[in-house]
Structure 1
Amino acid sequence: MSETSDKEQPRRRQARGERRIAQLLQAAAQVFCTTGYTAASTNAIAREAGVSPGTLYQFFPNKEALAIELGDRLVHEMQETYGEALTPVEPATPLEEAIGTAVDRFIAFNTEHPVFFALMHGPDVPGRIAEAHDQLHATLVGRIEGLLGSLMPGAGPADVTRTAHVCLGVYKAGLELVLAHEGAERAAYVQEIKDVLIRYLEPLVGDQLGHG
C-alpha cells in the first residue's frame, strides 16, 4: 500500500465519523424538540437517526453529552448571529428599520434551530447548558447596552441596563409564541414583537434615529 493511501484512510474514517456525529446531532435536535429533553432517550435518538444504540454510544455516552455538544455548536452560531444583528446603527436609520432588522435576524436563527429554545429554556437541561445560557444572556444584555448607550446619551448606566433587560425580555417572551405558530400567524406575532419594542423605545430614543 502506498504512503498516500495510508494517509487517505484515516481521513476517510474521520470524515465518516464527522458525518455520523452530524447525523446523530440532527436526530437529537428533532427528538429534543418533539419530546423535550427530559423525556428524550438515547434509544429514541438512535431510532430517529436510523442507527443502532450501539452506534450512538460509539460517539456519545448519553443524551447529556449529545445535548452539550449540540448546545455548544448552537451557542457559537448564536454568537455570530447577534454579532451581525447588534451592530451600531447609522443615525439616519429609522427606529422601525433598526428594530426590524435585529428582530428578523434573531427570529431567523431561532426558527431555523428550534431546538435552541427547547434546550436553553428546558427545566432539566444539563448544568453546562444552563451556564452557557446565562453567559449568553449576559453577553446579549451587554451588547444591547452598548447599542442603546449611543441612542440614549442622556440616560444613566442603570437606566440603560434596565432598558436592555426589558428589550431582551420582550423578545424572549414573544419568541415562544412565534415558534408555536406557522405561516401568516407566525409573521403576525413577529410584527407584534417589533411593534412592542418600537413603542417602548420610541420615547426613550427620541430623535437619535431617523435623522441624517
Structure 2
Amino acid sequence: MPEKSETPETPETSETSEKEQPRRRQARGERRIAQLLEAAAAVFTTTGYTAASTNAIAREAGVSPGTLYQFFPNKEAIAIELADRLMHELREMYGEALAPVDPTTPLEEAVGAAVDRFIAFNCEHPVFFTLMHGPDVPGRMAEEHDALHATLLSRIEGLLSSFLPAADPTDLARTAHMCLGLYKAGLELVLAHEGAERDAYVQELKNALIRYLDPLVGEGLGHPDAPRTTA
C-alpha cells in the first residue's frame, strides 16, 4: 500500500506560521503578566506593600522568581503596573458614576448610585485601597494618585452643581472635599467588614453623606421650583 504523502508547505503557509508565533508568544506573555498581577494583588492586600516581596508574589502565582523577573525587575514595578491598570478602570467608571444628573433626581438616589459604584469597585479590587492609601506608596504612584484625587474632586463638584447651581465655587469645592473625605473614612470601615455587616456600613456611609448634603440642598429637593440654599 503506497505511503500517504504529506502536503507540502507553501510559502504562504510558512509566512503565516512565522507571523503567528510572535502573536502566540505575546498572548502567553500577557497571560503570565495577568497571573503575576493577580498574585501581587493578593499579596499586597494581605501583607501590605512594604512587607510584600517578589518571592512571595512568585509563590502566590505558582512560578519561580526567575520567571517573575522576566516580566518585572522589582516589586515597585509590579505595584506601579497594577495601580496603573486599576486607575484606568476607575477613571472609566467614575466618568459615569459622577456624571451630572437631572436636578429633580432625589438626593438619596444620586448619592446611593454613586456610592454603590465606588464601593463595588473597591470591594472587587481591595488592593487599590492598600496601594493608594498606605504610608509607603512609591513616588510615581503617589503622583498618579494626586492627579486622580484632583479629577475626582472636579467630578464631584460637577455632580453637586446639579443640585446647587447657585453655589459659590469656593463653597462648592469645600463641599466636594468634605464628601470625598467622608467617603474615604467610610470606605475603610466598609472594607474591614464582610457580609451583612459590610452592607450595614455601606448604608451608614450613604446616610452620612445624605445628612450632610440635605441641609445644603434644601428640603425641596426633587422639585425644580423649590427654593435652594447655597453651600
TM interval, shorter chain, is: over 0.9
Moved more, 47-56 or 120-129: 120-129
- Matched AA of 2:155: R
2:209 to 191, 197, 206: 197
Change (3 A) 1:100 1:26: same
Q: How many residues align?
A: 212
2:134 to 109, 112, 122: 122
Counterpart for residue 4 of structure 2: none
Deviation at 1:54, TM superposition (A): 0.1
Pairing of 1:23-172 with structure 2 (within 5 A): 23-172=35-184
List per-residue Cα deviations over 1:74-108 (Å, max 9, x = no partner): 00001011111001112332110110000000000
In 2, distance between residues paired with 1:169 and 1:91? 24
In 2, distance between residues paired with 1:92 and 1:144? 17
In 1, distance between residues paired with 2:47 and 2:35? 18
User: 1:91 touches 1:208 (CA, 8 Å); kept in 2?
Assistant: no
Q: TM-score, normalization: structure 1?
A: 0.97
User: 2:156 touches 2:176 (CA, 8 Å); kept in 1?
Assistant: yes
Deviation at 1:208, TM superposition (A): 6.7
User: 2:104 touches 2:222 (CA, 8 Å); kept in 1?
Assistant: yes
Counterpart for residue 200 of structure 2: 188
- Matched AA of 2:87: V
Q: TM-score, normalization: structure 2?
A: 0.89
Deviation at 1:146, TM superposition (A): 1.5
Change (3 A) 1:16 1:208: farther
Deviation at 1:207, TM superposition (A): 5.4
**What SS is found at the alignment partner of 1:59?**
coil
List per-residue Cα deviations over 1:126-172 (Å, max 9, x = no partner): 10111111111110001111221232123211100000000000000
Moved more, 150-159 or 182-191: 150-159
Q: Whose radius of gyration is greater, 1 or 2?
A: 2
Identical columns (%): 81
In 2, distance between residues paired with 1:105 and 1:207? 26
Structure having the higher helix fraction is 1
Structure 2: any 5+ residue segments left out of the alignment?
1-8, 225-231
- Matched AA of 1:80: E
Deviation at 1:51, TM superposition (A): 0.1
User: 1:151 touches 1:208 (CA, 8 Å); kept in 2?
Assistant: no
In 2, distance between residues paired with 1:200 and 1:164? 11
- Matched AA of 1:87: A
In 2, distance between residues paired with 1:150 and 1:178? 28
